[in-house]
Structure 1
Amino acid sequence: MPRMTPETHVIDFRAAETLLEARDARGAIRLLDSVIAAHPESTAARLLRARAFFAAAQLRAAELEFQTVLEREPTNAYAHFALGRTYERAARPAEALRHFRIAAALDPRPDHVAAARFEDRDHQG
């Protein structure tokens, strides 16, 4: 097996991005596993692996990875939004809504605000 270097990790990270874009989530996960093993502090690699887990419908793994990202970067709006989508897909709507609202507060992009459903607060008793 060839010796892994920081350069090969960068190549693997970029290849994993390409694989995920091509809808090969499992291939992306395989590449990112070695990158994260060598660089466990890499939030970017963890976020990409979380996205790949989500795309592969590995929701528990995605949840754990998004939570790890948020422990390191609690103001990462995208990670909150994606964790919300993960909870939504796992039929955990209250947890999803909490993260959608945090994402919208941090970054009021239209998709974050729509998912946060702030207008529903007025109709809740």
Structure 2
Amino acid sequence: MASRRRDVALILLASVLWGTSFPGSKLTVDTVDPLFLTFARMALGASLGLLVLAAMGRLDRRIFREPIVWILGAVNAIGFDLQNEGILLTTASKTALLVNVNIVFIAILMVLFFGETVSREKVAGIL
């Protein structure tokens, strides 16, 4: 049971930290170019990720030879840049709401591409 509580606490912490990105981005894009903010965020995230993986002995450099890693990284960076560009035009809370509508699209894509079933629990989670 302690493990479950820890897991839920970590997920809630991740949610809070993720939520701070919207007001943080709104504050930042007033002083820095949105594309630079995207670059800085990706560079910092990649650097910290590499350091943690190396420290844990889990860094496998062969992963950088996989084209899908670079493709998904580029798609993700484009998404972050569009978010940063868009936040210039509206509030942080509206941006967060619009960005997080992706939950619905992900559920639809998982059914279409991976044949996942949509259970009552999943529908309740989406709502």
TM-score, structure 1 normalization: 0.27
Structure with bigger gyration radius: 2
TM-score, structure 2 normalization: 0.26
Higher relative contact order (CA 8 A, sep 6+): 2
